[in-house]
Amino acid sequence: MMSALWIATLVTSLVCFILKYIGYSLPDSLLNKPRVQRINSLIPIALLSALVTVQSFGAENSVVIDHRLAGVAVAAVALRFGANFPTMMLLAAVVSAVIYRL
Amino acid sequence: MSLSAAPFDKRVVLRDSLAVAIPVGTYGAAFGAAAIGSGFTVLQTCLLSLLLFSGASQFAVVGVMGAGGSPLSAIATGSLLGLRNGLYGLRMAPVLSLHGIKKIIGAQLTIDESTGVALNQESRGLNASRYGFWATGIGVYFFWNLFTLIGALGAQSIGDPSAWGLDAAVPAAFLGLVWPRLIDTKSKLVGFTAAILALLLIPIAPAGVPIISTALLAIVFGWRK
Protein backbone atom coordinates (compact mmCIF):
# COMPACT_ATOMS: atom_id res chain seq x y z
CA MET A 1 0.00 0.00 0.00
CA MET A 2 1.36 3.38 -1.05
CA SER A 3 0.42 6.21 1.25
CA ALA A 4 -0.54 9.64 -0.03
CA LEU A 5 2.84 10.97 1.15
CA TRP A 6 4.72 8.33 -0.84
CA ILE A 7 2.70 9.09 -3.98
CA ALA A 8 3.33 12.84 -3.59
CA THR A 9 7.06 12.23 -2.98
CA LEU A 10 7.75 9.85 -5.85
CA VAL A 11 5.41 11.17 -8.55
CA THR A 12 6.42 14.84 -8.08
CA SER A 13 10.08 13.77 -8.21
CA LEU A 14 9.49 11.84 -11.44
CA VAL A 15 7.49 14.63 -13.11
CA CYS A 16 10.02 17.29 -12.12
CA PHE A 17 12.91 15.20 -13.45
CA ILE A 18 11.09 14.69 -16.76
CA LEU A 19 10.51 18.47 -16.94
CA LYS A 20 14.24 19.09 -16.39
CA TYR A 21 15.21 16.43 -18.94
CA ILE A 22 12.92 17.55 -21.76
CA GLY A 23 14.42 21.05 -21.45
CA TYR A 24 17.60 19.52 -22.90
CA SER A 25 15.68 17.70 -25.60
CA LEU A 26 13.47 20.40 -27.09
CA PRO A 27 14.24 22.87 -29.88
CA ASP A 28 15.28 26.18 -28.30
CA SER A 29 12.87 28.12 -30.51
CA LEU A 30 10.34 27.46 -27.72
CA LEU A 31 12.28 29.64 -25.33
CA ASN A 32 12.19 32.52 -27.76
CA LYS A 33 8.46 32.99 -27.28
CA PRO A 34 8.25 36.02 -24.96
CA ARG A 35 4.81 34.99 -23.74
CA VAL A 36 6.12 31.60 -22.56
CA GLN A 37 8.95 33.37 -20.72
CA ARG A 38 6.68 35.92 -19.08
CA ILE A 39 4.19 33.33 -17.84
CA ASN A 40 7.01 31.04 -16.72
CA SER A 41 8.56 33.78 -14.61
CA LEU A 42 5.21 34.70 -13.04
CA ILE A 43 4.11 31.15 -12.13
CA PRO A 44 6.52 30.78 -9.19
CA ILE A 45 5.52 34.22 -7.89
CA ALA A 46 1.82 33.30 -7.91
CA LEU A 47 2.26 29.85 -6.37
CA LEU A 48 4.77 30.91 -3.71
CA SER A 49 2.61 33.89 -2.68
CA ALA A 50 -0.39 31.58 -2.38
CA LEU A 51 1.70 29.19 -0.28
CA VAL A 52 2.67 32.05 2.06
CA THR A 53 -1.03 32.86 2.56
CA VAL A 54 -2.24 29.29 2.99
CA GLN A 55 0.56 28.41 5.40
CA SER A 56 0.04 31.64 7.39
CA PHE A 57 -3.76 31.68 7.67
CA GLY A 58 -5.06 28.25 6.70
CA ALA A 59 -6.28 25.71 9.25
CA GLU A 60 -8.27 22.91 7.64
CA ASN A 61 -10.94 24.84 5.74
CA SER A 62 -10.92 28.04 7.74
CA VAL A 63 -8.93 31.25 7.94
CA VAL A 64 -7.36 31.87 11.35
CA ILE A 65 -5.08 34.56 12.70
CA ASP A 66 -2.58 33.15 15.17
CA HIS A 67 1.11 33.08 16.16
CA ARG A 68 2.12 32.14 12.58
CA LEU A 69 1.12 35.57 11.28
CA ALA A 70 3.39 37.27 13.82
CA GLY A 71 6.27 35.08 12.68
CA VAL A 72 5.64 35.81 9.02
CA ALA A 73 5.32 39.54 9.68
CA VAL A 74 8.71 39.50 11.40
CA ALA A 75 10.12 37.55 8.45
CA ALA A 76 8.84 40.24 6.07
CA VAL A 77 10.46 42.99 8.12
CA ALA A 78 13.73 41.01 8.26
CA LEU A 79 13.69 40.54 4.47
CA ARG A 80 12.91 44.23 4.00
CA PHE A 81 16.09 45.03 5.93
CA GLY A 82 18.15 42.59 3.89
CA ALA A 83 18.38 39.68 6.32
CA ASN A 84 19.63 36.43 4.80
CA PHE A 85 17.43 33.37 4.51
CA PRO A 86 18.51 31.43 7.64
CA THR A 87 18.35 34.52 9.87
CA MET A 88 14.90 35.41 8.57
CA MET A 89 13.58 31.88 9.16
CA LEU A 90 15.10 31.67 12.61
CA LEU A 91 13.50 34.99 13.61
CA ALA A 92 10.11 33.85 12.27
CA ALA A 93 10.30 30.55 14.16
CA VAL A 94 11.40 32.16 17.43
CA VAL A 95 8.78 34.93 17.33
CA SER A 96 5.96 32.52 16.50
CA ALA A 97 7.10 30.15 19.27
CA VAL A 98 7.19 32.98 21.82
CA ILE A 99 3.72 34.27 20.86
CA TYR A 100 2.43 30.68 20.95
CA ARG A 101 3.65 30.30 24.54
CA LEU A 102 2.12 33.58 25.78
CA MET B 1 30.19 32.08 -27.75
CA SER B 2 33.26 33.43 -29.55
CA LEU B 3 35.20 33.37 -26.28
CA SER B 4 34.79 29.60 -25.90
CA ALA B 5 38.50 28.81 -26.08
CA ALA B 6 39.46 31.53 -23.61
CA PRO B 7 41.26 30.24 -20.52
CA PHE B 8 39.70 31.04 -17.17
CA ASP B 9 40.73 30.95 -13.54
CA LYS B 10 39.12 27.85 -12.05
CA ARG B 11 39.61 29.11 -8.51
CA VAL B 12 37.58 32.26 -9.21
CA VAL B 13 34.69 30.31 -10.72
CA LEU B 14 34.86 27.70 -7.95
CA ARG B 15 34.72 30.46 -5.35
CA ASP B 16 31.64 31.96 -7.04
CA SER B 17 30.05 28.51 -7.13
CA LEU B 18 30.70 27.67 -3.49
CA ALA B 19 29.57 31.13 -2.36
CA VAL B 20 26.16 30.11 -3.70
CA ALA B 21 26.22 26.37 -2.97
CA ILE B 22 27.08 26.48 0.73
CA PRO B 23 24.49 29.01 1.99
CA VAL B 24 21.78 27.58 -0.29
CA GLY B 25 22.65 24.06 0.82
CA THR B 26 22.18 24.96 4.47
CA TYR B 27 18.53 25.90 3.72
CA GLY B 28 18.15 22.17 3.28
CA ALA B 29 17.94 22.00 7.07
CA ALA B 30 14.84 24.20 6.97
CA PHE B 31 13.32 21.94 4.35
CA GLY B 32 14.15 18.83 6.36
CA ALA B 33 12.48 20.30 9.44
CA ALA B 34 9.43 21.49 7.47
CA ALA B 35 8.94 18.07 5.88
CA ILE B 36 9.06 16.27 9.23
CA GLY B 37 6.62 18.86 10.64
CA SER B 38 4.24 18.10 7.75
CA GLY B 39 4.21 14.39 8.57
CA PHE B 40 6.82 13.05 6.13
CA THR B 41 9.25 10.38 7.32
CA VAL B 42 13.01 10.96 7.35
CA LEU B 43 13.34 8.60 4.35
CA GLN B 44 10.66 10.43 2.34
CA THR B 45 12.22 13.78 3.27
CA CYS B 46 15.67 12.69 2.08
CA LEU B 47 14.25 11.16 -1.11
CA LEU B 48 12.56 14.47 -1.94
CA SER B 49 15.94 16.21 -1.76
CA LEU B 50 17.77 13.43 -3.66
CA LEU B 51 15.18 12.83 -6.38
CA LEU B 52 13.12 16.03 -6.69
CA PHE B 53 16.03 18.39 -5.94
CA SER B 54 14.28 21.72 -6.47
CA GLY B 55 13.74 23.73 -3.30
CA ALA B 56 10.49 25.55 -4.07
CA SER B 57 8.86 22.37 -5.44
CA GLN B 58 9.96 20.40 -2.39
CA PHE B 59 8.59 23.00 0.03
CA ALA B 60 5.37 23.06 -2.01
CA VAL B 61 4.91 19.28 -1.80
CA VAL B 62 5.31 19.25 1.97
CA GLY B 63 3.30 22.48 2.33
CA VAL B 64 0.32 21.17 0.36
CA MET B 65 0.36 17.74 2.03
CA GLY B 66 0.88 19.36 5.45
CA ALA B 67 -2.20 21.55 4.84
CA GLY B 68 -4.24 18.41 4.17
CA GLY B 69 -4.16 18.57 0.36
CA SER B 70 -4.45 15.57 -1.94
CA PRO B 71 -1.38 14.01 -3.57
CA LEU B 72 -2.72 15.25 -6.91
CA SER B 73 -2.66 18.91 -5.84
CA ALA B 74 0.80 18.42 -4.29
CA ILE B 75 2.07 16.88 -7.54
CA ALA B 76 0.47 19.62 -9.66
CA THR B 77 1.79 22.47 -7.50
CA GLY B 78 5.28 20.97 -7.17
CA SER B 79 5.44 20.29 -10.90
CA LEU B 80 4.27 23.76 -11.90
CA LEU B 81 7.02 25.19 -9.71
CA GLY B 82 9.45 22.77 -11.42
CA LEU B 83 8.44 23.92 -14.88
CA ARG B 84 11.03 26.69 -14.88
CA ASN B 85 13.84 24.12 -14.55
CA GLY B 86 12.77 22.81 -17.95
CA LEU B 87 13.15 26.30 -19.39
CA TYR B 88 16.58 26.57 -17.74
CA GLY B 89 17.45 23.29 -19.49
CA LEU B 90 16.43 24.82 -22.79
CA ARG B 91 18.77 27.73 -22.04
CA MET B 92 21.66 25.54 -20.83
CA ALA B 93 21.45 22.86 -23.56
CA PRO B 94 23.65 24.69 -26.13
CA VAL B 95 26.13 25.70 -23.40
CA LEU B 96 26.60 22.19 -21.98
CA SER B 97 25.81 20.01 -25.05
CA LEU B 98 25.20 16.88 -22.98
CA HIS B 99 24.53 13.29 -24.06
CA GLY B 100 23.79 9.98 -22.39
CA ILE B 101 24.40 9.67 -18.66
CA LYS B 102 25.85 13.21 -18.42
CA LYS B 103 22.58 14.53 -19.82
CA ILE B 104 20.65 12.72 -17.08
CA ILE B 105 22.96 14.02 -14.34
CA GLY B 106 23.11 17.52 -15.83
CA ALA B 107 19.31 17.68 -16.10
CA GLN B 108 18.93 16.67 -12.44
CA LEU B 109 21.37 19.44 -11.41
CA THR B 110 19.54 22.10 -13.47
CA ILE B 111 18.06 24.46 -10.87
CA ASP B 112 17.94 28.21 -10.19
CA GLU B 113 21.43 28.33 -8.67
CA SER B 114 23.43 26.21 -11.15
CA THR B 115 21.83 28.03 -14.10
CA GLY B 116 22.30 31.42 -12.46
CA VAL B 117 26.01 30.92 -11.75
CA ALA B 118 26.61 29.42 -15.22
CA LEU B 119 24.99 32.41 -16.94
CA ASN B 120 26.94 34.84 -14.74
CA GLN B 121 30.18 33.22 -15.93
CA GLU B 122 29.39 33.64 -19.63
CA SER B 123 31.59 36.72 -19.90
CA ARG B 124 34.54 34.51 -18.84
CA GLY B 125 33.87 32.09 -21.70
CA LEU B 126 32.04 28.87 -22.43
CA ASN B 127 34.34 26.67 -20.33
CA ALA B 128 33.95 28.92 -17.30
CA SER B 129 30.20 28.77 -17.75
CA ARG B 130 30.25 24.96 -17.88
CA TYR B 131 32.56 24.75 -14.89
CA GLY B 132 30.30 27.10 -12.93
CA PHE B 133 27.26 24.98 -13.76
CA TRP B 134 28.82 21.71 -12.59
CA ALA B 135 30.56 23.16 -9.53
CA THR B 136 27.39 24.91 -8.35
CA GLY B 137 25.06 22.01 -9.22
CA ILE B 138 27.21 19.39 -7.49
CA GLY B 139 27.92 21.71 -4.55
CA VAL B 140 24.25 22.52 -3.94
CA TYR B 141 23.32 18.85 -4.37
CA PHE B 142 25.86 17.76 -1.77
CA PHE B 143 25.11 20.42 0.85
CA TRP B 144 21.33 20.46 0.26
CA ASN B 145 21.07 16.72 0.84
CA LEU B 146 23.44 16.75 3.81
CA PHE B 147 21.50 19.54 5.53
CA THR B 148 18.13 17.99 4.65
CA LEU B 149 19.17 14.94 6.67
CA ILE B 150 20.46 17.11 9.54
CA GLY B 151 17.24 19.18 9.59
CA ALA B 152 15.02 16.10 9.39
CA LEU B 153 16.82 14.32 12.24
CA GLY B 154 16.84 17.52 14.31
CA ALA B 155 13.11 18.09 13.83
CA GLN B 156 12.37 14.46 14.57
CA SER B 157 14.22 14.73 17.87
CA ILE B 158 12.17 17.72 19.06
CA GLY B 159 8.87 16.25 17.84
CA ASP B 160 6.17 18.16 15.96
CA PRO B 161 7.40 21.75 15.32
CA SER B 162 3.82 23.05 15.43
CA ALA B 163 3.53 21.81 19.04
CA TRP B 164 6.29 24.28 19.86
CA GLY B 165 4.71 27.07 17.84
CA LEU B 166 7.61 26.99 15.37
CA ASP B 167 5.30 26.53 12.38
CA ALA B 168 5.74 30.08 11.06
CA ALA B 169 9.04 28.84 9.65
CA VAL B 170 7.27 27.23 6.69
CA PRO B 171 5.39 30.31 5.39
CA ALA B 172 8.52 32.35 6.15
CA ALA B 173 10.48 30.03 3.88
CA PHE B 174 7.99 30.62 1.06
CA LEU B 175 8.18 34.37 1.70
CA GLY B 176 11.98 34.18 1.47
CA LEU B 177 11.70 32.31 -1.83
CA VAL B 178 9.24 34.74 -3.42
CA TRP B 179 10.79 37.96 -2.06
CA PRO B 180 13.71 38.29 -4.53
CA ARG B 181 11.31 37.67 -7.42
CA LEU B 182 9.12 40.70 -6.60
CA ILE B 183 11.19 42.98 -8.79
CA ASP B 184 8.66 45.11 -10.66
CA THR B 185 5.06 46.32 -10.52
CA LYS B 186 3.69 43.33 -12.42
CA SER B 187 5.40 40.74 -10.25
CA LYS B 188 4.22 42.51 -7.09
CA LEU B 189 0.69 42.67 -8.50
CA VAL B 190 0.74 38.93 -9.27
CA GLY B 191 2.06 38.13 -5.79
CA PHE B 192 -0.55 40.32 -4.10
CA THR B 193 -3.53 39.07 -6.12
CA ALA B 194 -2.38 35.44 -5.72
CA ALA B 195 -2.24 35.91 -1.95
CA ILE B 196 -5.75 37.42 -1.92
CA LEU B 197 -7.19 34.72 -4.21
CA ALA B 198 -5.71 31.96 -2.07
CA LEU B 199 -7.11 33.59 1.08
CA LEU B 200 -10.60 33.80 -0.43
CA LEU B 201 -10.48 30.18 -1.60
CA ILE B 202 -9.29 28.64 1.70
CA PRO B 203 -12.80 28.36 3.22
CA ILE B 204 -14.56 27.20 0.04
CA ALA B 205 -12.11 25.03 -1.92
CA PRO B 206 -10.46 21.68 -1.10
CA ALA B 207 -6.92 21.96 0.29
CA GLY B 208 -4.34 22.51 -2.45
CA VAL B 209 -6.80 24.20 -4.83
CA PRO B 210 -6.25 27.70 -3.34
CA ILE B 211 -2.57 27.31 -4.27
CA ILE B 212 -2.69 25.71 -7.70
CA SER B 213 -5.51 27.96 -8.97
CA THR B 214 -3.29 31.04 -8.68
CA ALA B 215 -1.28 29.73 -11.67
CA LEU B 216 -4.17 31.15 -13.71
CA LEU B 217 -3.20 34.63 -12.52
CA ALA B 218 0.31 34.07 -13.89
CA ILE B 219 -1.20 33.19 -17.28
CA VAL B 220 -3.60 36.17 -17.24
CA PHE B 221 -0.93 38.70 -16.20
CA GLY B 222 1.76 37.14 -18.39
CA TRP B 223 -0.38 36.94 -21.54
CA ARG B 224 0.29 40.53 -22.51
CA LYS B 225 3.40 42.57 -21.88
Query: What does the DSSP assignment read for A9-77?
Result: HHHHHHHHHHHHHHHTTS-GGGGG-HHHHHHHHHHHHHHHHHHHHHHHHEETTEE--SHHHHHHHHHHH
ipTM greater than 0.95:
no
Residue B140, domain member (yes or no): yes
Q: Does residue B3 lie in a domain region?
A: no
Q: Does some domain include residue B64?
A: yes
Rounded CA gap, A42 and B181, in Å?
Answer: 9
On whether residue B137 sits in a domain, the answer given is yes
Res. A1 pLDDT band, cuts 50 70 90: very low
Q: Please state the domain extents for chain A.
A: 1-30, 31-101
Say if residue B31 is in the same domain as residue B79: yes
**Per-residue model confidence as pLDDT tens digits over A44-102:** 899 889 989 998 998 878 999 999 999 999 999 999 999 887 788 889 989 999 999 88
Q: Is residue B48 part of a domain?
A: yes
B84 within a domain of the structure (yes/no): yes
A85/B77 touch (CB, cutoff 8 Å), yes or no:
no
Residues B116 and B211 reside in one and the same domain? no
CB B221 within 8 A of CB B190: yes
Distance (Å) from the alpha carbon of B168 to chain A's nearest alpha carbon: 4
Q: Is residue B130 part of a domain?
A: yes
Question: B96 in a domain, yes or no?
Answer: yes
Cα A28 to Cα A37: distance, rounded to the nearest angstrom: 12
* Residue B196 lies in domain: 182-225
Of A13, A55, A71, the CB nearest to B48: A13
Q: Are residues B44 and B150 in the same domain?
A: yes
Nearest Cα to Cα of residue B207 among B72, B82, B52, B40 = B72
The answer to whether B165 contacts A101, with C-beta atoms less than 8 Å apart, is yes
Any idea what DSSP says for residue B121?
T
Give the total number of structural domains in chain B: 2
B107 and B133 share one domain: yes
Q: Which of B14, B17, B21 is nearest to B145 (CA)?
A: B21
Sign for the pseudo-dihedral over CA of B62, B173, B147, B93:
positive
Determine the pLDDT at residue B6.
Answer: 66
Distances (CA, A) of B142 to A32, B37, B48, B145, B154: 33, 23, 14, 6, 18
Spell A57-86 as b/e; 16+ CB within 10 A means b.
Answer: bbeeeeeeebbbbbbbbbbbebbeeebebe
B46–chain A nearest CA distance, Å:
10
Q: Which residue in A has a C-alpha nearest to residue B74's C-alpha?
A: A8
From the list B51, B168, B215, which residue is nearest A47 (CB)?
B215
Residue B189 is predicted with a pLDDT of 97
Whether residue B151 is found in the same domain as residue B216: no
Same domain, B190 and B159: no
Q: Are residues B60 and B135 in the same domain?
A: yes
Residue B95 has pLDDT above 80, yes or no: yes
d(CA A46, CA B213): 9
